[in-house]
Amino acid sequence: MLLDTGDTIAALATAPGPGAIAVVRASGPDAVAAALKVFSPRPGERVAHRHVTLGSLTDPRDGIAFDEALLTFFRGPSSYTRQDLVEISCHGGSVAAATCLAALLREGCRLAEPGEFTLRAFLSGRIDLARAEAVADMVAAPNDLSLKSARAQLGGSLSESVRAIRERLIGLRAQLEAEIDFAEDDVPPMPRDQIGAVLESAQIRVAAALKGSETGQLLRTGVRITLVGAPNAGKSSTMNLLLGRDRAIVTEEAGTTRDVLEESLSVDGLTVVLSDTAGIRSGAGRIESEGIVRTERALGEADLALHLVDGSRPLAEADYQTAALIARVGLPAIVLLNKSDLGTVVGDAELERIGIARQVPFSALRGDGVDRLQEELSDLLETGGLRATDLPQTTNRRHIRGLRQAETELAGSERALRDGLPADFICIGLAGAISELGLITGEDATEDLLSAIFTKFCIGK
């Protein structure tokens, strides 16, 4: 990872391959000079700050124009990197953009490393580390809620909170260390109740930043929903219906599904990972039994279960075995009374024995009950704490880990205060919490940490 920002870098900022438009980006002291060796404005046009200029791209080696393009110029420090920055928008496809980039590299630019444009934005102080990571999170967002959460983080929601906590702790530590360093000068000690108030306030604010962190992880990874039930209950048909395409094999032969099939879809802006599993029954063969073992494993990794039962006939022992397995794992669940198009004959006593309150009449064949199922899923995700009504401040594992560690350090300072220990012991936890919070926003970031973060970015971002 290069922390020297004195040279000029260039890279393709859009995905390679066919497309309507490709963007080549350059940043650094020679960005404009290099660009004007490749880009020629149309007569009457000129390159100006925050101005889009129409012109042609020419290979400096032979002077032959190879594309028509637009050049946008941002003069530093009023740019993403706080350096002179140009973006050349040419026709999509691999040839024009690659030719433009190659020409810039020949004119003295260096090919940017992954995330180097955003790294320069961080090193210049334009954004802090948490906001820089939000850029990558926006690019990688798997659903609407993840995107909104990352956008809020990019706007500084987490950074402002963490910085306020950290500055208050730095002030407290400075005051306590002054007492330690100038003990012989009769520096009046800070009242213990004031120290406690600062620590309590910091703990409350860290807890608030952590609120919904488990939900935040679900925003990134998706909610895992496992379809379970007896053989031929309609699990594979239901999966195909919810996906809107044939993913699982559907036959009248029991035991067709022997492995766990996984696919994703979106429910109210949240990614849902559906798992179609082998039917649970006694007396299965060796291969089918292995499928049932995998079903049990999938339930153990799931966030909730959809229990498919054939509502057109009385419940069988396999239905009760499935319900018992769900209860043993402790998962929230919804019962789908499938094959409602054939008429429902399952009695209330049978359903009561299953022990799952949420029940939806359903037909995987005709699509009846899908809207009701989606309503039940949304309600279950929210009431079960699997989806927050307010977006979490962060979905980033590194931030969550740092906040939890800061919480632990503050608890140590609080214990030292409660036990009447000298200020030195209170400062130990304060120093740890300040460091952990500084790693989140980047004040205490090491080169190794920056490398680990920015090498995960796209080249050109």
| pTM for the predicted model, two decimal places | 0.74
324 compared with 394, residue with greater pLDDT: 324
Whether residue 198 has pLDDT greater than 90? yes
- Reported as a pLDDT band with limits 50, 70 and 90, residue 286 is low
Cα dihedral value 65, 67, 72, 75, nearest 10: -30
Whether residue 255 has pLDDT greater than 60? no
16 compared with 418, residue with greater pLDDT: 418
Whether residue 195 has pLDDT greater than 60? yes
Q: How many residues does the chain have?
A: 461
Q: How far apart are the first and last CA of the chain?
A: 15
Strand 64-74 with 261-267, pairing: unpaired
3-state class (DSSP) for residue 391 = coil
Domains in the chain (CATH in brackets) are 9-127 (3.30.1360.120), 134-212+394-442 (1.20.120.430), 225-383 (3.40.50.300)
pLDDT at residue 245, rounded to an integer: 67
Around Cβ 189, how many Cβ atoms within 10 Å?
Answer: 11
Residue 129 falls in which region: left (phi positive, over 0), alpha (psi -120 to 50) or beta: alpha
Whether residue 192 has pLDDT greater than 70? yes
pLDDT (tens digit, 9 = 90+) per residue, 42-55? 998 899 999 999 99
Q: Within its chain, how far is the Cα of 111 from the centroid? A: 28
- Reported as a pLDDT band with limits 50, 70 and 90, residue 344 is confident
128 compared with 383, residue with greater pLDDT: 128
Range of lowest pLDDT (11-20, 55-64, 147-156, 252-261): 252-261
pLDDT at residue 230, rounded to an integer: 86
Listing from the earlier edge strand, what are the strands of the sheet with 39-41? Answer: 39-41, 51-59, 64-74, 85-91, 21-27, 9-12, 110-111
pLDDT (tens digit, 9 = 90+) per residue, 124-157? 999 999 999 989 888 888 777 778 888 888 888 8
Q: 206: Cβ–Cβ under 8 A, 6 or more apart, which residues?
A: 165, 403, 406, 407, 410
- Reported as a pLDDT band with limits 50, 70 and 90, residue 388 is very low
- Reported as a pLDDT band with limits 50, 70 and 90, residue 217 is low
pLDDT (tens digit, 9 = 90+) per residue, 68-83? 999 999 999 999 999 9
Average model confidence (pLDDT) across the chain: 85
pLDDT (tens digit, 9 = 90+) per residue, 101-123? 999 999 999 999 999 999 999 99
Query: What is d(CA 257, CA 277) in angstroms, rounded to the nearest whole number?
Result: 6
pLDDT (tens digit, 9 = 90+) per residue, 447-457? 888 888 888 88
In terms of Cα–Cα distance, which of 151, 38, 171 is closest to 97? 38
Backbone angles phi, psi at 267, to 5 degrees: -125, 115
